[in-house]
Amino acid sequence: MLKLAIGGILCFISTYLGITGKRYYDKRYRYLSDFNDFLLALIDGISYSKDRLSEISKKYLASTKGLFGKNLNEFLYLIESSQEEDKIAKCFDCKYLKRADKEYFKEFFLTLGKLDYDTQISRLNLSKAEIEKMLSKAEKDCKSTGNLFSKLGLLLGIAIMIILA
């Protein structure tokens, strides 16, 4: 009976770890998707409405909730209070992003608003193409690796139950 209880606990733990691995990929995809939505709003706001960054960001924040929204809100606060670049760069230091993603966000937000209109629009369009590649890779990772983690965790848990039973 003790072996069965231990097996059940280990099965639960391995299944939980598998689901946690899947959740990592889901949240990374969601974060990049939110950034893509913000980027599209930014391109539209700058190109057509000629709005300022803070106005566009506040409109976006009014319609979104999530980790990217919280990080963007922190970024806006630091820009308005004119903080150091190190603090601004750490705004988007999310645990669900890869190192290359963090560097991309750091560079993107540190140069945002510091270029002339034409250069800014061309940089935003380049960023749009780049984020679409990142987003499609994240979606692929979410579907393949994320699902693999959850299924592998469950199968490992069942295997442990069988071995201990």
pLDDT tens, residue by residue, 66-110: 888 888 888 888 877 776 667 777 778 888 888 888 888 888 888
Radius of gyration of the chain (CA): 21
* Residue of 60, 87, 63 lying closest to 75 (CA atoms): 87
Residues of the domain holding 67: 2-164
Residue 142's SS3 state is helix
Q: Give the count of domains, the chain.
A: 1
Distance of CA 88 to the CA centre of its chain: 17
What average pLDDT is seen over the chain? 85
pLDDT tens, residue by residue, 20-39: 889 999 999 999 999 999 99
* Residue of 158, 154, 146, 162 lying closest to 27 (CA atoms): 146
* Residue of 29, 14, 15, 2 lying closest to 142 (CA atoms): 29
Q: Which amino acid is at 161?
A: M
For residue 83, the model assigns a pLDDT of 64
